Amino acid sequence: MVYAADDNRYEKLPYRRVSDSGLILPAVSFGLWRNLGDQMPLENSKKVILKAFDQGVFSFDNASNYGPSNGTAEETFGQVYRHDLKPYRDELVINTKAGYHMWPGPLGEFSGKKTLVAALDMSLQRMGLDYVDIFYAHRWDPNTRLEETAQALDLIVKQGKALYVGVSNYTAEQTAAIAKIFDRLGTPFIGNQVSYNMLNRGVEKDDLLSVLDNNHAGLIAYGPLAEGLLTDRYLDAIPEDYPIHRTNAFLFEDGKEKLVSKLNALNQIAMARGQKLSQMALAWLLKDQRVASVVIGASKVEHLLDNLAFSDNMSFSDDELVQIEKVLKQ
């Protein structure tokens, strides 16, 4: 059967402009991190990806090292794209990243010119694309001159392989430094993709949002649910072997029992709002217009739809924000 997208897809989710650029993103983007690579049947992955698009999620986020096995998440997306989504290419925002370990040898990671150019060429081949909409330098490279990384990203745009460029996991200071070079080169810098959620608010302490806004760029938040902690699955206890992402590992420093207590307090606020904790967590991030989109992952359609229901209530009263802040500071 030939896939035909839902005619009402753009009436289901809010979308927002990234700063004052011409790029518009859905409030939620779909990330393929570990969810839909080589350990998931293609038919299941196809159902989730197409359902996301039918619900108004037109931004898909990838990276060279996503899989679990490197490149397999891009291969999965590529198969779905070629078979079903190619007629909708002009509606899609397709992103990828390079910088973490991608292939053997010293050139298979970080942000040198040869590495970034080669990585994107491989990504385009895996996904069956002529270009990506955003190409990110996936992490700070302490060994390569920042000018070389910026020039490599600028070259990629000039070659027509990406429309915009971004960085990922850069601090405010690092972001400001590369943005200055991009400004000089005339490179279309669109944003920084970083870990940000109700429990992990490092970007606020770093004032990254202001730095991005001052440079006409936006923040794209990954890990908005703290790898599932901000759901109703762990209100009783957090397993000892919980696979927490490195960016959120500090959440366990004061003990898991204290964190569970905090999650339950947040859940009570969410229930009073008529939402699940996960839905409130997504809405809370998006209350700041400088957050251009939040990246969620899902391996099941029901989980995807459950998260997307956040848009039923995205407003917060002053009292609710005070209550949330009180819990988060405990």
Contact present, 16 and 45 (Cβ < 8 Å): no
Percent of the chain residues topping a pLDDT of 70: 98
Mode of pairing for the β-strands spanning 15-17 and 24-26: antiparallel
More confident of the two residues 39 and 201: 201
**What distance in Å separates the CA atoms of residue 197 and residue 194, rounded to the nearest whole number?**
10
With a CB cutoff of 8 Å and minimum separation 6, the contacts of 152 are: 111, 112, 113, 116, 117
**Region at 275 (left for phi over 0; alpha for psi -120 to 50; beta for the rest):** beta
**What distance in Å separates the CA atoms of residue 330 and residue 167, rounded to the nearest whole number?**
32
Record the tokens describing residue 297, joined without a space. 């992952």
pLDDT in tens, 262-289: 999 999 999 999 999 999 999 999 999 9
pLDDT in tens, 37-90: 666 788 999 999 999 999 999 999 999 999 888 999 999 999 999 999 999 999
Count of other CB atoms within 10 angstroms of residue 241: 6
Say whether pTM exceeds 0.75. Answer: yes
